[in-house]
Chain A
């Protein structure tokens, strides 16, 4: 790819060496894209006003191949992923710090696209990117770009959402279709040679969470089922809370194309990643209200009540299958690998 006037501009080792090339990159790209009062001060740190309430911090490293995929890219993913980790405490995300590890030879035009996408996602989420760092590794020692983001949010007193609060009798809800992100990524990998129209669901969920909390302040658990998918998240919550879960396959929303792609590859959509969905546990009597609140938000239109929390010292997540049988939804062993036949 060229700009028509010469060879394509690429990241080289000088962009991480601390000299003028790095200063130019920071100035022309990062400062321009993320512009805010803290970055403009050009200090090595941002001094932020302390809001009332409790501070919530989450950090997330982002590596994804390909870097650009239907519905998003590593830039928007790195903002939304961390915003969501903060939001799952019920907090309002405010600030973000971002670290970039760039590989020598990476196209600057691709880096610009990614940074623009991050800036757009941060604006949409109402989060200021207030600190950052860039390093460059030699060609062959990275995968284009790795992005680590740390999010800071504030949590009002009284909100107590935690993975260990699920109690027998509680209801389990999801905010929409499962597996969209993972299938979008898979279908955009060149070596697979199959296409779908599935787009990544990458989105910042704190607006949805705020709507849910305003309707049902006593939400017990929230978690975004990213890597490992719904199955893994339910097992995490069951283990943390010392309970079992019983879900109904027929009630778990799965996009038809996602189901078909999973069937084709021998994957189970319950273990495929999401980047814009959440799992919620709430008292049974509040489930109907919570569901309505979720469905009233653009990111929760296909929300569903998928099951219940039960007493089970073995902490099994069990599922009633579409046909009426029962099975365990177990921890995943390693990563899902395509089957031979």
Chain B
């Protein structure tokens, strides 16, 4: 399994599946922050802008995530809500400085890669004495998600999931290092290779995994030595630890509630926490019952096994999480790979 949506994207965009022997199959994991963001959290963000009059600053690929009732941030923006696309958390801080009379909320989404930048934004806002800047924190953690996949009943008891090894995302490991994966490799006897996002990085990672499997090894290997170390970026880790703490549980779209898998803002920085400032109430919204995203994210099914795939569920009208972002397994398969075995759907 390649955990990260960035790798999924590389595999499909460069047609890497065509270069693999028939007995090697890639399972596309849940490492796409847009895909796994539960509908209820997107509803919350829309409510902040449309209902509470806040300026909501969001990353570009968050704008299209389908929320309840066919809504999205993009549609809310068209209806008059003040939603702005930003390229970094620093842009959101700048927006707050430029609009001192407005509440500005940064819709913080992403894995360990983007979390340090959000921490910096909060620390900057404190230094600047900003009173109109808050963060709606949705940051999630890679190792917890992998552990959840490995702990699932199907994997542990039934042995039905054919995951023989993991490719880990290099950009996450530039921050957290390779050490957090050592536990899985040993405990679950699954080799892990931390790899970059160029097609050759991914091919090399697959080769290294195969070598480990053939030699009966289960280790953490670092393919991305050009930026990743065993201990990662200590300064970034300290920033994250200063501002954030673990949530007891967080809902992942497609996986459900995953214990200790996300971060929230510490009480010390409560003034910058949109959940506290606006009293945000989270209401879970179930996925369509026919949607097979959960099984696809665990590697038990392929996108084409889902009855909704390429029929009711397409990138234009995504129903399940895996179709939401170009990095999701279904969207990547639909966009780049459906020539393999799916007839064209009516447009």
Q: Are B339 and A314 in contact (CB under 8 A)?
A: yes
Q: How far is the CA of A334 from the CA of B15 in the complex (A)?
A: 23
Q: How far is the CA of A327 from the CA of B199 in the complex (A)?
A: 14
Question: Provided the pairs A315-B344, A324-B18 are in contact, do residues A337 and B85 lie with their beta carbons within 8 angstroms?
Answer: yes
Question: Provided the pairs A325-B15, A337-B61, A340-B33 are in contact, do residues A330 and B336 lie with their beta carbons within 8 angstroms?
Answer: yes
With an 8 A cutoff between CB atoms, is B27 at the interface? no
Chain B contact residue count (CB 8 A cutoff)? 43
With an 8 A cutoff between CB atoms, is A260 at the interface? no
Restricting to A162-197, which residues have a CB under 8 Å from any CB of B? 191-193
With an 8 A cutoff between CB atoms, is A17 at the interface? no
25 A-B residue pairs with Cβ-Cβ distance under 8 Å, sorted by A, are: A191-B91, A268-B13, A314-B339, A320-B15, A321-B14, A321-B15, A323-B15, A323-B16, A323-B19, A323-B200, A323-B203, A325-B16, A327-B13, A327-B336, A333-B335, A337-B61, A338-B59, A339-B60, A339-B327, A340-B59, A340-B62, A340-B110, A341-B33, A341-B113, A341-B171
With an 8 A cutoff between CB atoms, is A318 at the interface? yes
Restricting to B93-126, which residues have a CB under 8 Å from any CB of A? 109-111, 113-114
* Per-residue A-contact encoding for B15-37, CB less than 8 Å = 1, 0 else: 11111000000000000011000
Q: How far is the CA of A339 from the CA of B18 in the complex (A)?
A: 26
Q: How far is the CA of A87 from the CA of B326 in the complex (A)?
A: 35
Closest to A249 in B: B14
Q: What is the interface of chain A mostly: helix, strand, loop, or mixed?
A: loop
Q: Are A324 and B19 in contact (CB under 8 A)?
A: yes
Closest to A315 in B: B344
Q: Are A338 and B61 in contact (CB under 8 A)?
A: yes
Q: How far is the CA of A338 from the CA of B64 in the complex (A)?
A: 12
Q: How far is the CA of A320 from the CA of B87 in the complex (A)?
A: 32
User: Which residues of B have CB within 8 Å of A315?
Assistant: 344
With an 8 A cutoff between CB atoms, is A9 at the interface? no
Question: Provided the pairs A314-B344, A321-B13, A333-B316 are in contact, do residues A340 and B109 lie with their beta carbons within 8 angstroms?
Answer: yes
Q: Are A192 and B87 in contact (CB under 8 A)?
A: yes
Q: Are A318 and B33 in contact (CB under 8 A)?
A: no
Q: How far is the CA of A334 from the CA of B78 in the complex (A)?
A: 14
Residue among B14, B17, B338 with max Cβ neighbours from chain A (10 Å): B14
